Structure 1
Amino acid sequence: MRAFIFPGQGSQTVGMGQALSAASAVAREVFQEVDEALGQHLSRLMAEGPAEELMLTENAQPAIMANAIATLRVLEREGGIRLADKAEFVAGHSLGEYTALCAAGALGLAETARLLRIRGQAMQAAVPVGEGAMAALLGLDFEAARQIAADAAEGEVCEAANDNAPGQVVVSGSKAAVERAVELAKVRGGKRAMLLPVSAPFHCSLMEPAARAMEKALAGADLRAPLVPVYANVTAAPVADAATIRTLLVEQVTGTVRWRESVEAMAAAGVAEFIEFGGKVLGPMVKRIAPDATPTSIVTMDDIEALSKAL
């Protein structure tokens, strides 16, 4: 069995999609449709930078999605591949869940781009710059990291935001509380703990205003049942009902990204092959979570051609 998976924020880089766009009219169509949906030359920003502007959450989220969907569309159109014939499930990390839904036909490309623009703006606006933080706690299991976050809160917000892989948990919340969590992790057996260079404290209760913004945006979105089930971040379980997906996407803004559990569940369901489109971030995580699985990253035209022959 096979799952198609899609990366989250942090996989953006200046030059992303440029070679693919030069090589394929299909990729250029994807980037053009996203540009038109946003009323912005996002593809130029992706290709040329500046990096500081591309890293802004409201730009990074649709850019990462567009790059991943372009990669998939080239495979589908030029390789004659149908996702529903080649993958039993789709999944994505944080914003990648929207990409997964787009890939599986639950959301149109233009609508996905607009939703991610709203999501990025709302998440950035939810907490004034400098008041929130996120930190990676390495070498601790999820329960230990969650307890450290709870103990570090001291009346402020500090919560487990991303359960990425064994020994890799990200906490999020008020800056002082997250800084306390970093220090606590060091004395409670963590191998390493460090603040992350992010612009807002994602996936914690401080994002509640962003959740309300997404509830409103998703209420008016044309969201259909996906061609194959999507593993939801907040439940680590497959879902194929549009109304449920809508609810879970709202919960996802403040909820923990349960990526480790999602991969474990897919592997337990029989998935042996995980194909990541548009990034090289999730593959190493998959290998740590499910050592017997085979992860593949698809980024270049050569990657796409090799996968087309292999499927």
Structure 2
Amino acid sequence: MKKTAILFPGQGSQYLGMGRAFVEAEQGAAAVMDLAERVSGFPLRRLAFDGPLDELTRVLYLQPALTAVNIICWEQLKKRLPGWTPAFAAGHSLGEYSALYAAQVLSLEDTLALVTRRGELMEREGRQHPGGMAAVLGLELAQVEQILAEGRPEGTVVVANHNTAQQIVLSGDAQGLDAAAALLKAKGAKKVIPLQVSVANHSPLVAGAVPDFAASMARIDFHAPEIPVIFNVSAGIERNPELIRDLMSYQIASKVHWLEIVQAMLADGVELFVELGPKNVLTGLVNKILPKGSTVQCLQADTPDAMDAAARAIAP
């Protein structure tokens, strides 16, 4: 079997119809979606399948809906590979909760409860402190940070995600994002692209959610990971359940070190990355991170045929 890392996407990967192929055909997949609806209290099946997309994209609904689809995909891959365990698991932002479920740090119900609570708190912060996110293409992290430090754009804007060497994601209010975009384009950024999110994730604008979310997590049982998880906040492995709890509280308002996470997996000899969940955003990022001429494979699966192909790639 190939040394495999499982990746779970976060907000921005949603599309109408996500998860339908499994939920309508597989009793186990339907049961996950049913539980997600009971725990959240939201009509997630209707939203995920039929939308409207702007309603699905609301952080309140998207967090439990996307997490349910990610988990369904994980369970479908396990069904095809009994007894198999990946070398690593990681998730991008919201996707990190799916990784914690896969690693058995959290139970299914607790995972769904936490992402529902996270969505409620982040929607609250988004109403109180409106903002958004934008991807910067063509500049490296040090350049972006230097331009922002020297330009001192009005409003609030910070680096939220270090996705690849030349894809940096900003988060902030409209004034800060607009001012930063003008500065960065003037200094050589190829593009600054607004993202399909409704809240300024991983920024000071959502920091008010952290203490309330930490209080919610204090009532949840965290367990030592059965699969090594590389965390967004530290780009390192953590096995202590209490420290994992702390990392997940900070994660809401902290930078996502995605480039460093993928580089750590590559340094440990990962041969195959499999993205489980809607779209192929993380697969695209990994392909940009891989060194020229690398033989490492990247696959994405959220349909039965794609899941079959992923299982064959892991265990040829």
TM > 0.5 between the two?
Answer: yes
**Aligned pairs (5 A) from 1:195-214:** 195-214=194-213
Structure 2 segments unaligned to the other structure (5+ residues): none
Give the Å deviation of 1:102.
0.7
SS at match of 1:43: helix
Equivalent residue for 2:223?
Answer: 224
Equivalent residue for 1:177?
Answer: 176
Give the Å deviation of 1:288.
0.7
SS at match of 2:127: coil
2:288 aligned with 1:285: no
Equivalent residue for 1:115?
Answer: 114
Provide TM-score, normalisation by structure 2. 0.92
Question: Which residue identity lines up with residue 245 of structure 2 in the other structure?
Answer: R
Q: Would the aligned equivalents of 2:159 and 2:170 in 1 still touch at CA under 8 Å?
A: yes
**Aligned pairs (5 A) from 1:19-58:** 19-58=21-60
1:61 alignment partner, one of 42, 60, 63: 63
Q: Which moved more, 1:188-197 or 1:132-141?
A: 188-197
**Aligned pairs (5 A) from 1:90-129:** 90-128=89-127
Equivalent residue for 1:161?
Answer: 160
Q: Would the aligned equivalents of 2:57 and 2:198 in 1 still touch at CA under 8 Å?
A: no
* CA distances 1:255-277 after superposition (whole Å, capped 9, x unpaired): 10110111011111111211110
Q: Distance in 1 between matches of 2:258 and 2:158?
A: 16
Q: Distance in 2 between matches of 1:241 and 1:221?
A: 15
Q: Distance in 2 between matches of 1:109 and 1:153?
A: 44
Q: Would the aligned equivalents of 1:7 and 1:276 in 2 still touch at CA under 8 Å?
A: yes
Equivalent residue for 1:253?
Answer: 252
Q: Distance in 2 between matches of 1:133 and 1:10?
A: 12
* CA distances 1:241-265 after superposition (whole Å, capped 9, x unpaired): 2111111111111110110111011
Equivalent residue for 1:296?
Answer: 299
SS at match of 1:230: coil
Equivalent residue for 1:306?
Answer: 309
Q: Would the aligned equivalents of 2:57 and 2:196 in 1 still touch at CA under 8 Å?
A: no
**Structure 1 residues 268 and 23: CA distance shift in structure 2, 3 A:** same
Give the Å deviation of 1:44.
2.3
Q: Distance in 2 between matches of 1:302 and 1:120?
A: 31
Q: Would the aligned equivalents of 1:173 and 1:206 in 2 still touch at CA under 8 Å?
A: yes
Give the Å deviation of 1:217.
1.2
Q: Would the aligned equivalents of 2:154 and 2:179 in 1 still touch at CA under 8 Å?
A: no
Q: Distance in 2 between matches of 1:206 and 1:130?
A: 6
Give the Å deviation of 1:81.
2.5
**Structure 1 residues 283 and 209: CA distance shift in structure 2, 3 A:** same
Question: Which residue identity lines up with residue 82 of structure 2 in the other structure?
Answer: I
* CA distances 1:77-101 after superposition (whole Å, capped 9, x unpaired): 3x2424xx33111000000000100
Q: Would the aligned equivalents of 1:152 and 1:180 in 2 still touch at CA under 8 Å?
A: no
Tell me how many residue pairs correspond in the alignment. Answer: 308
Equivalent residue for 1:267?
Answer: 266
Give the Å deviation of 1:156.
4.2
Q: Distance in 2 between matches of 1:160 and 1:105?
A: 31
**Structure 1 residues 152 and 96: CA distance shift in structure 2, 3 A:** farther
2:12 aligned with 1:10: yes
Q: Which moved more, 1:157-166 or 1:35-44?
A: 35-44
Question: Which residue identity lines up with residue 273 of structure 1 in the other structure?
Answer: L
**Structure 1 residues 197 and 16: CA distance shift in structure 2, 3 A:** closer
Q: Would the aligned equivalents of 2:40 and 2:64 in 1 still touch at CA under 8 Å?
A: no
Structure 1 segments unaligned to the other structure (5+ residues): none
* CA distances 1:103-142 after superposition (whole Å, capped 9, x unpaired): 1111111211111111112112114377423222110001
SS at match of 2:252: helix
Equivalent residue for 1:81?
Answer: 82
Q: Would the aligned equivalents of 1:157 and 1:177 in 2 still touch at CA under 8 Å?
A: yes
Q: Which moved more, 1:301-310 or 1:184-193?
A: 301-310
Q: Which moved more, 1:181-190 or 1:46-55?
A: 46-55
